Structure 1
């Protein structure tokens, strides 16, 4: 394997995007969870929901900041490492990313301040509404990013002139064939990932004997979410696999390590794909099951890797093993979630110590499955950066090996420091947990105040430095 600027640029982008993707996914799920907690607080008046909302808002703020910082780096890499990609598909991808900034990021940023610092400055209903708007903004951000990425997987609604893609039909571009299921799959993964973090936090607090009421609430809510979304994710994944067989047959062949199209596809449980010999070593498989799952018949034939020229095949090992890691974790999620639901139904979930001990360590499960799925998606698309439009090798910038090597080394050093500090801070906040005691009553509605409000009241509302500022509790 030759180490050149192209290979190092791919490694650098894979490194930075792997750090980035986990934080937006977590904030998508966490913002929705905070919004639900605030809605429950407004509906029931139970202070534990207020405590939990303030607690998770602090963690959301740190995660959101880390996601923004890592996302900015990716944008610059399009110019520094992949400038020819921008030339070839910028007419399509540029507007989609612009829509994400205009409709989603601005929406999040506009109401994020209210969500973070409006606890005693705005009416509770407005604070709750702001949380829902932020949650909607994070979901809308995922909508545009997944739309752009799905177009790269299977471009539609465009025409190519002199190697450059020009938009023809924006509806087909935005809602390209692979987008709906990929968006549903990603959003469900985000909510499921957050649910396991919430579950692990609640279990940790219960085992430590602190914040029992809020800890039990976290465990109950997480179990409900996992029990519902884990099997739903498996169903969406099944539909997505059938769709991949139609629109990305080379990717499916790599996922299944399928080499011979004259035979029905076997579901390979384990193997070591040998790309040079074009066969699987140490294979353990179930004959015909891959054909049944992807085409509805155990006798169905579908394209194998040998049906594509070697230069048009994706790498096999990464999609093959990453897919099995993702499916394996997903299966364990279903089993663990349903076991928790059964224990809850029997009234024994908080007394079953072995289940809680396992639960407190399940928080990485969603993140690992998320990254594994992303590797399947991105590596399985190779050698194309935008399928049929531009290859990855043709998109790299005219940079030297030394330039990319230095920037990669700097990224590794900086990310190691910054993200280690951020993760340690999140862990410290989680370990501390919600404050003990009951939450304070919501502030009086500002609409009921008169124009002759006292100076203290004004300071509570606006934080302008007048007497009474000590009553304002910072969100973080």
Structure 2
């Protein structure tokens, strides 16, 4: 492994871990706030217990997210100094605002965790809402910075110089809305299914059934709402990518030949040597419609781009297929669950329904990881799309491979600690809040 691959691998590892913590940090406070609101309105002590249990989980993920996010900030400068030299003054605004949102989140979380029976009950609830809103703002701001890498804006690039910098235009680039919307719904869906699945598992084990049933139903509604809305944001994102990054869309779909009535490819094994895809199921005209809203509009194929500016097709295609496939699976579960709420309420107590959610615990986060793989690998070989190549941005410092090994050990250790803390928290729930 050379230093360039080691630097990319270390960044991928850091992002892969942090994205899970940040997704949960963005969404879990809203679960907590809904449960808290239900307690204040109904006086049902079970909702209070659910709220307090979830608040501990929020604290755990806030702490781990802060650590992993800080590491990422340092890595940008240490691993990609040439990138930060030019990009920092342009897209630094969303990062600085994200820092402000982080501090607001930290203060609000402190008020919330230590404010039980000390503040006005509605002010206390409001601090929990602020935790969620500021966490969501942090996520949107970070995604805006990433979107700028896919859709550079807010400057003029003249003779290798970055001139006429406009940080506002850079932050609100052409890709920020579609990426932010897709990320928010992905976080909602993934977190919702994971939380609902854990509570479903506890119900199946007959552990504090009343407590876990209340928690499961809140998380399941959030998860299923996100799963139903996610394909709409996916459509917006696909049309945006088709307009701005046609080579990424072609790699996502393993679409090699420019043609009218372009087929949507399901599955298949890309053959980059011969510019074709084997063993794929093709739906004629569907890609043209999804990309441009018309079944006959031509879709640019990979053949239109030199091979040195094409992203790795196989990785991008497989990750995209995995993301879409898991997204459709969660959509089916969501539609079925809402149908059950509407017409078949007696099914809500069935073990097979709970097993379905328990089996879906990791599905959303696997889809999130696949989606970020599409976003990042699909932009290659560019770190700033169309302007700066990733290889030109890497640090000249040797020995990055050893840094990669060290960070791998750190993140594995961190994940073990987080899992242990969460397992301990779930076990404590049965002892502290058993009202059955």
Contact 2:211 2:433 (C-alpha < 8 Å) held by counterparts: no
Aligned length: 434
Deviations 1:37-84 (A, max 9, x none): 222222222212111110011111111111111111111112221110
Mapped pair 1:89 → 2:87: yes
Match runs of 1:344-423 below 5 Å: 344-345=341-342, 346-400=344-398, 403-423=399-419
CA distance in 2, matches of 1:380, 1:323: 10
Cα deviation, residue 361, structure 1: 2.6
Structure 1 residue aligned with 2:125: 128
Cα deviation, residue 234, structure 1: 0.7
Structure 2 residue aligned with 1:453: none
Deviations 1:135-180 (A, max 9, x none): 1110110121011111111112211245343454344222211111
Structure 2 residue aligned with 1:298: 295
User: Which of the pair is proportionally richer in helix?
Assistant: 2
* Structure 2 residue corresponding to 1:154, chosen from 141, 147, 151: 151
Structure 2 residue aligned with 1:139: 136
In structure 1, runs of 5+ residues without a counterpart are 440-476
Contact 1:92 1:167 (C-alpha < 8 Å) held by counterparts: no
**TM-score (structure 2 length as normaliser):** 0.95
Q: For residues 200 and 368 of structure 1, do their structure 2 counterparts lie closer, same or farther at Cα, with a shift above 3 Å needed?
A: same
CA distance in 2, matches of 1:64, 1:256: 36
Cα deviation, residue 207, structure 1: 1.1
Mapped pair 1:324 → 2:321: yes
Mapped pair 1:37 → 2:16: no
Match runs of 1:22-421 below 5 Å: 22-102=20-100, 104-166=101-163, 168-345=165-342, 346-400=344-398, 403-421=399-417
Cα deviation, residue 396, structure 1: 0.5
In structure 2, runs of 5+ residues without a counterpart are none
Deviations 1:358-384 (A, max 9, x none): 222321111111111111111111111
Q: For residues 167 and 132 of structure 1, do their structure 2 counterparts lie closer, same or farther at Cα, with a shift above 3 Å needed?
A: farther
Q: For residues 167 and 237 of structure 1, do their structure 2 counterparts lie closer, same or farther at Cα, with a shift above 3 Å needed?
A: farther
Give structure 1 regions of 4+ aligned residues with deviation exceeding 4 angstroms: none
**TM-score (structure 1 length as normaliser):** 0.87
The two structures, once aligned, show a CA RMSD in angstroms of 1.8
Q: For residues 392 and 274 of structure 1, do their structure 2 counterparts lie closer, same or farther at Cα, with a shift above 3 Å needed?
A: same
Deviations 1:204-229 (A, max 9, x none): 22112222222222232233223322
Deviations 1:248-279 (A, max 9, x none): 11110100111110343211111111212221
Task: Indicate the structure (1 or 2) with the bigger Cα radius of gyration.
Answer: 1
CA distance in 2, matches of 1:59, 1:109: 14
Q: For residues 385 and 108 of structure 1, do their structure 2 counterparts lie closer, same or farther at Cα, with a shift above 3 Å needed?
A: same
Deviations 1:288-334 (A, max 9, x none): 21112111222221211111111111111111011111111111111
Q: For residues 298 and 414 of structure 1, do their structure 2 counterparts lie closer, same or farther at Cα, with a shift above 3 Å needed?
A: same
Q: Secondary structure at the match of 2:266?
A: strand
CA distance in 2, matches of 1:226, 1:121: 33
Cα deviation, residue 31, structure 1: 1.2
Structure 2 residue aligned with 1:463: none
Contact 2:228 2:334 (C-alpha < 8 Å) held by counterparts: no
Bigger mean CA deviation after superposition, 159-168 or 254-263: 159-168
Contact 2:189 2:224 (C-alpha < 8 Å) held by counterparts: no
Q: For residues 287 and 82 of structure 1, do their structure 2 counterparts lie closer, same or farther at Cα, with a shift above 3 Å needed?
A: same
Q: Secondary structure at the match of 1:271?
A: strand
Cα deviation, residue 431, structure 1: 4.1
CA distance in 2, matches of 1:418, 1:95: 30
